[in-house]
């Protein structure tokens, strides 16, 4: 990208007006609709029994996927499934599991024989 263009953008010399933004939104909507139409046509083509038996069906499915991805991007939607993990919730869960494991280890270390009078067993039970 030309350096001058970047400088103009940084200075906001292009004075993007509300009308320009509206036109941009209209064009994006038109492009999204075109991608969706292309995806539908490619999917219909790929579903044709004659095409399915030929290798071009695979190409039609790829084209359909690409068109859907582009439409998703233009709509501001994700093109993949991602897991969102709340770090605080994860931290609480991990600490809870760790405490549970420590308690299990503590209880496993206790001699469960009722006649136990070892000082270490008595100390573990009193915790």
Count of beta carbons in the 10 Å neighbourhood of residue 36: 17
Asked if residue 64 and residue 24 are part of one domain, the reply reads yes
Residue 46 covered by a domain: yes
Containing structural domain, residue 95:
87-125
* pLDDT tens column, 27-79: 888 888 898 888 888 878 877 788 767 767 778 788 788 888 888 888 888 88
Do 8 and 64 fall within a single domain? yes
* Strand blocks (E) in the chain: none
* Distance separating alpha carbons of residues 75 and 1, to the nearest angstrom: 25
69 against 1, higher pLDDT: 69
Instruction: Assess if residue 11 is contained within a domain.
Output: yes
Examine residue 79 and state whether it is found in any structural domain, yes or no: no
Q: Would you state the pLDDT for residue 102?
A: 80
Q: Report the alpha-carbon distance of residue 93 to residue 3 in Å, rounded.
A: 50
Residues 6+ apart with CB under 8 A from 106: 124, 127
Q: How many CB atoms lie within 10 A of CB 47?
A: 13
49 vs 111: CA distance, rounded Å: 72
Taking the CB of residue 64, how many other CB atoms lie within 10 A of it?
Answer: 20
Segment 80-94, tens digit of pLDDT: 877 777 788 878 888
Please check whether residues 94 and 57 belong to one and the same domain: no
Query: What pTM was estimated for this model as a whole?
Result: 0.38
If you average pLDDT over residues 90-108, what whole number do you get? 80
């Amino acid at each position: 990208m030309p350096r001058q263009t970047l400088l103009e953008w940084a200075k906001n010399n292009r004075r993007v007006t509300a009308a320009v933004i509206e036109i941009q939104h209209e064009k994006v909507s038109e492009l999204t609709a075109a991608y969706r139409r292309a995806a539908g046509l490619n999917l219909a083509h790929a579903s044709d029994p004659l095409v399915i038996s030929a290798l071009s069906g695979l190409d039609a499915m790829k084209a359909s996927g690409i068109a859907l991805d582009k439409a998703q991007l233009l709509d501001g939607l994700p093109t993949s499934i991602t897991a969102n993990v709340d770090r605080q919730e994860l931290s609480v869960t991990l600490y809870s599991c760790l405490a549970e494991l420590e308690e299990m280890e503590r209880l496993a270390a206790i001699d469960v024989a009722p006649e136990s009078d070892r000082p270490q067993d008595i100390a573990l039970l009193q915790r």
